[in-house]
Structure 1
Amino acid sequence: MMSALFPTYAKWEIQAEKGSGAVLTDVDGKEYLDFVAGIAVCNLGHCHPKVLASVEKQLEKLWHVSNLFQLEGQEKVAQMLVDHSVGDYVFFSNSGAEANEAAIKLARKATGKHHIVTLNQSFHGRTLGTMAATGQEKIHAGFGPLLQEFTYIDLNDIHALEEAVTNETAAVMVEVVQGEGGVCLMDQEFADALKKICEAYGCLLIIDEVQTGIGRTGTAFAYEQWGLSPDIFTLAKGLGNGFPVGAMVGKASLKDAFGPGSHGSTFGGNPLAMAAAEAVLTEVFAADMLKAVSAKGDWFMKKLEQHLASLSIVKEVRGIGLMIGIACEIEVAPMIKACREGGLLVLPAGPNVIRILPPLVVTEQQIESALAILVEVLTKTDNKQQIHA
């Protein structure tokens, strides 16, 4: 079929029609266990009743006026984010890339410096600014000169961090778990060094929580588990459960750098987005929800480790909460396709990692079903590798 869309995505063969919880149904009626969740977006699953009810209620009242008006929904959601974090002020955007653009702009304006240190294999977005912050050559290729003064270092390389940060550094920008980069976790030693170095040089710490935030790792925000206190952190994906919304959260010392006219967004924080976000945060920030995410994630990872330990193609199972990666010795694309054919949707994170991001509301029975499919697909692949070895 001819398409009028730019071919910017290598689309799957599935045409989705509807979803409920962790189940996605295509136009032919086939059901899939959705352990992609919109790439860590639908943390409460598809069509969560409380999010749906909140947005429907707002639809009947007001869709948009502009940020020149006082909007109660913005105040409510901002206060919820501040109450559950180390931040003091919030700027609303429409996406993670926009939130990260705001973070970069704020860091440069507040410090008067332009140099920013980021990590190799990071991902912060595809705008000109966030593309430059992203430490992946494949994201840069073909787009000409990048925004200046970014230095890339390897995750967990303390010596490289010490070498890269200077008195001219505005900020260090990191993910505590690199999602697109392979579900790679920051070492505690690196986190401790990061904190000390930022303090020593007076540079800001920016943490990109676009994929890890909103309960994905078992706490409201992933930085909590590393004992970090970012000056700025960014959110999107799970914040709206599928409704486009992003946020940049900053500490009180940065308030004056983002005064009237310094930054803006026509649709950022519109009433519909705020209705979705308020319902999401009410559900996700409940203590029982976050405990359940940690428990389900720990159980899932242990089962994967047990069942896959004997397979030569599997290097490691790693992750935190319900953000899990299976690192393999071979390219994973054929296995991801086989999982899809078996009724399970999972993602790559680079060529050699299977990324698993189920909704936070996934049931134990659904995890067991997904586990069975993964084990079957990887075992069959391993057996074929042994035969051809």
Structure 2
Amino acid sequence: MDTFIRDLLARRTGEQFSLHESHMNRQMVRVLRTIGYDRNYVRATGPYLYDEAGDEYLDLLSGFGVFALGRNHPVVNSALKEVLDAELPNLVQLDVSLLSGLLGEALIDTAPSDGLDRVFFANSGAETVEAAIKFARSATRRETIVSCDHAFHGLTYGALSLNGEKVFREGFGPFLGACRSVPFNDLDALEAALSKRDVAAFVVEPIQGKGVNLPDPNYHADAARLCQKYGTLFVVDEVQTGLGRTGKMWAIEHYGAEPDMLLTAKALSGGQVPVGAVLMRSKVFEAVFDRMDRAVVHGSTFAKNNLAMAAGLATLKVLKEDRLVEHAAAMGDRLIADLSAFIGKHEFVHAVRGKGLMIGIEFGKPKSFRLRTAWGLLEQANVSLFSQMILIPLFTDHRVLAQVASHGQHVIKLLPPLVIGERDAEWIVGAFDKTIGDCHKVPGAIWDLGRRLAGHAMARPKAAAE
């Protein structure tokens, strides 16, 4: 057996940072080195990463949610090997493949409503958003697309036109025309936007990933009714929330609403192969593919590749057979309850929210004078700096990898693999308890770190100018 890649990795292990500095994004390397995240990971399994020293890290980032099954799940890896060993015809293009038909069928079986009976495959979450825009405009013969403030729908131009995070849009305009935003969880604002009857689609995340913002219980059902009233398609972006993440197969099931289109990606292939899919009603699908001469008017070259389709089938098999959706619900309830106990115990913790294993810990200004003063100094440098000050010792001292949920917010987001167990839950709660507790010691090592971070933040404009 040829071991070309294995030999190459062994020979050049540890060079990734210098290679990226020379040929790719050197700013990312600078960030990793500044915050102490520059580890040489050599192996990964389930929810764990392992560095060259053999240290084990608990990954609560999951590759932004793609590793819902954990890394290198044996069923997914086996499916990929089977496809390669079978030497199947792949991407013939003037053909339709069996594996893509089977995955389409399997996805429709999971749909939150009977009306979602067609599937369009893509390569990513952003591509599913691009497809949804095109399908919506074609089906309604309207131009306007409405999304929500603080939404994240991707970084390609159509998706970015619906993106409510300013930091991702800055410097890239102008964007796709006829795109408007409304506040999330505001039905009056939504009705005002739809009442002109010129809106093709309302595109919304069931739970906003940036900030882990939850809606009121009736928001999505009422939004769907408003869309139906005004002839607008109700498009639910489940790229991050779908496939068991929130303790339901689809997060929209928590809210009793039926979408006209549902977008999924990230976790669909077990993290191993890029893939995305749009589930939609036949009338929407057939508005685009309405004649034989239009059979190829929209597509994506690699979208239905055999590796992605097989990985998707394997992922759905594992979710069902291992009852991971139910497991995510139970583990999420346990974690949210344990983390919520920090409110009152730790002055900085103001809220814990989420569903299933999509959890946000929100920090805020403390009550005591000394802590308020320290908090204020960090705020002057950068609004999200306190959360970063938590994340660094969480990683360096406790080997827990997590992320800031949103720019300009004091929220840390947890997106652990759905396979985490009791040991991992205890690890998470203990690590956060100790790290947040250390923030109450002023002066102290963690506030020394905060001052260093503030120094970097204050220096950024000068560095950028250079």
Scaled by the length of structure 2, what TM-score is found?
0.80
Deviates more, 1:234-243 or 1:324-333: 324-333
Listed as ranges, the gaps of 5+ residues in structure 2 are: 1-17, 290-294, 365-374, 376-385, 448-466
Per the alignment, residue 390 of structure 2 pairs with 335
1:241-320 mapped onto 2 (5 Å cutoff) = 241-242=270-271, 243-259=273-289, 260-286=295-321, 288-320=323-355
Pick aligned residue for 2:215 from 183, 186, 194: 186
Q: Secondary structure, in 3 states, of the residue corresponding to 1:278?
A: helix
Q: 2:246 touches 2:328 (CA, 8 Å); kept in 1?
A: yes
Counterpart in 2 of 1:214?
243
2:197 maps to what in 1? 167
Which region of structure 1 is more displaced relative to structure 2, 130-139 or 184-193? 184-193
Q: Given that residues 232 and 248 in structure 1 are in contact (C-alpha distance below 8 angstroms), is that contact kept between their aligned partners in structure 2? A: yes
The residue aligned with 1:346 is: 402
Distance (whole Å) between structure 1 residues aligned to residue 192 and residue 391 of structure 2: 39
- Does structure 2 retain, via aligned residues, the 8 Å contact 1:66–1:266? no
- Structure-to-structure mapping, 1:56-75, within 5 angstroms: 56-61=81-86, 62=88, 64-75=90-101
Match of 1:382 among 431, 437, 440: 440
Aligned residue type for 1:130: A
- For 2:299, give the aligned amino acid: G
Higher mean displacement: 23-32 or 297-306 = 23-32
Matched, 1:88 2:144: no
1:37 Cα deviation after fit:
1.0
Shift in CA distance, 303/226, structure 1 to aligned 2, threshold 3 Å: same
Residue in structure 1 matched with residue 7 of structure 2 by the alignment: none
Whole-Å separation in 2 of the counterparts to 1:50 and 1:317: 34
Measured in 2, the distance between the counterparts of 1:14 and 1:201 equals: 53
| Structure 1 moving runs of 4+ over 6 Å | 385-388
Please say if 1:23 is aligned against 2:65. no
Q: Specify which structure has the higher proportion of helix.
A: 2
List per-residue Cα deviations over 1:307-360 (Å, max 9, x = no partner).
343211111000000000001126301111111112111111114111101110
2:65 aligned partner: 40
Q: Over aligned residues, Cα RMSD in angstroms?
A: 1.8
Among all aligned residue pairs of Structure 1 and Structure 2, give the percentage whose two residues are the same amino acid. Answer: 35
Query: Following TM superposition, by how much is the alpha carbon of 1:258 offset from its aligned partner in structure 2, in angstroms?
Result: 2.8
How far apart, in 2, do the equivalents of 1:285 and 1:269 lie?
23
d(CA) in 2 for partners of 1:255 and 1:372?
49
Deviates more, 1:51-60 or 1:257-266: 257-266
For 1:20 and 1:234, how far apart are their aligned partners in 2? 28
C-alpha distance after superposition, 1:17-49 (max 9, x if no partner): 211111111233221011111111101101111
Distance in 2 of aligned mates of 1:73 and 1:296: 33
Unaligned runs of 5+ in 1: none
CA–CA distance in structure 1, aligned partners of residues 303 and 61 of structure 2: 25
Greater relative contact order (Cα < 8 A, sep 6+): 1
Rg (Cα) greater in structure: 2
SS at match of 1:155: coil
Give the secondary structure class of the aligned counterpart of 1:123: coil
1:98 corresponds in structure 2 to 127
Q: Which moved more, 1:48-57 or 1:13-22?
A: 13-22
| Alpha-carbon offset, residue 69 of structure 1 | 2.0
TM-score, normalising length from structure 1? 0.95
Cα distance in 1, alignment partners of residues 73 and 179 from structure 2:
40
Q: How does 1:118-129 map to 2 (within 5 A)?
A: 118-129=147-158
